[in-house]
């Protein structure tokens, strides 16, 4: 686990990611259930990694991460970010989640969606998200209300996005910059390194 955590930091430093980290609650539960680290890079294709067959690109951090991980090959991505994220968060087609685009508030995942962290919570997991969410910036849609216990994210589709239709211009939106939503989150400069640091520190606290 320590080696995997180190690799996660290296991977996050080289990719702008959202990391979903889930840890079992309690010592007895931890013995029976594995910790889960799910890293979702933005705008990267399956064939962009050396470990998946690219003959030109060098991706040593991701290659090392893959060697320590379970490789899932049957997830079919959507054309853009938010729809793909909603499918990953729910296990169903993005249209059933009400997500059809990344702008004009069409990224808001319906409140009827039962999410992955909500499901895992029923079997004893606690979860955190670090980096990008992009499934709704309004209060009810934010990850802290969708099953996540620890949240350190930026709003919209990118850091500081506030152009018309970007979600950053939505009335009452306060997450167009990096923000900590729970007390123990790391609060510092807006960098992938700090998100990785926050994720690994929080995951370590869950194990202690």
Query: How confident is the model at residue 174, as a pLDDT?
Result: 56
Residue 167: closest CA among 84, 109, 107: 107
**Domains of the chain, residue spans:** 2-207
Instruction: Note if 101 is an active site residue.
Output: no
- For 27, counting Cβ atoms within 10 Å of its Cβ (0-12 exposed, 13-18 middle, 19+ buried), the class is exposed
Query: How confident is the model at residue 77, as a pLDDT?
Result: 80
Query: How confident is the model at residue 98, as a pLDDT?
Result: 95
Query: How confident is the model at residue 119, as a pLDDT?
Result: 95
Query: How confident is the model at residue 149, as a pLDDT?
Result: 92
Residue 115: closest CA among 85, 79, 154, 151: 85
Query: How confident is the model at residue 181, as a pLDDT?
Result: 58
Query: How confident is the model at residue 155, as a pLDDT?
Result: 78
Instruction: Note if 134 is an active site residue.
Output: yes
- Count CB atoms within 10 A of the CB of residue 76: 6
pLDDT tens track, the chain, 208 positions: 444 444 443 433 333 344 555 555 554 554 578 888 888 888 788 889 999 999 999 999 999 999 988 887 777 788 888 999 999 999 999 999 999 998 888 899 999 999 999 999 999 999 999 888 899 888 889 899 999 999 888 878 877 677 777 766 666 665 555 555 554 555 556 667 778 888 888 888 887 6
Query: How confident is the model at residue 59, as a pLDDT?
Result: 94
Token pair of 195 as six digits: 């998100």
Which residue bears the tokens 């996660």? 8
Query: How confident is the model at residue 13, as a pLDDT?
Result: 33
Catalytic residue among 84, 134, 167, 206: 134
DSSP string, 33-100: S--EEEEEESS--GGGSGGGT-SS---HHHHHHHHTSPPP--PPPPSSHHHHHHHHHHSS-GGGGT--
Query: How confident is the model at residue 164, as a pLDDT?
Result: 74
Query: How confident is the model at residue 8, as a pLDDT?
Result: 41
């Amino acid at each position: 686990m320590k080696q995997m955590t180190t690799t996660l930091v290296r991977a996050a430093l080289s990719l702008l990611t959202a990391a979903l980290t889930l840890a079992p609650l309690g010592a007895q539960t931890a013995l029976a259930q594995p910790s889960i680290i799910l890293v979702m890079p933005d705008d990267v294709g399956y064939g962009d990694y050396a470990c998946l067959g690219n003959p030109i690109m060098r991706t040593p951090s991701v290659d090392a991460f893959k060697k320590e991980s379970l490789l899932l090959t049957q997830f079919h991505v959507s054309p853009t970010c938010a729809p793909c994220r909603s499918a990953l968060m729910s296990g169903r087609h993005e249209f059933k989640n009400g997500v059809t685009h990344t702008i004009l508030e069409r990224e808001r995942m319906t409140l009827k969606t039962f999410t992955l962290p909500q499901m895992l919570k029923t079997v004893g997991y606690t979860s955190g998200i670090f980096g990008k969410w992009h499934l709704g910036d309004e209060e009810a849609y934010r990850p802290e209300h969708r099953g996540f216990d620890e949240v350190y994210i930026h709003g919209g589709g990118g850091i500081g996005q506030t152009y018309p239709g970007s979600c950053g211009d939505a009335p009452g939106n306060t997450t167009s910059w990096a923000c900590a939503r729970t007390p123990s989150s790391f609060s510092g400069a807006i960098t992938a390194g700090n998100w990785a640091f926050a994720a690994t520190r929080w995951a370590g606290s869950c194990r202690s």
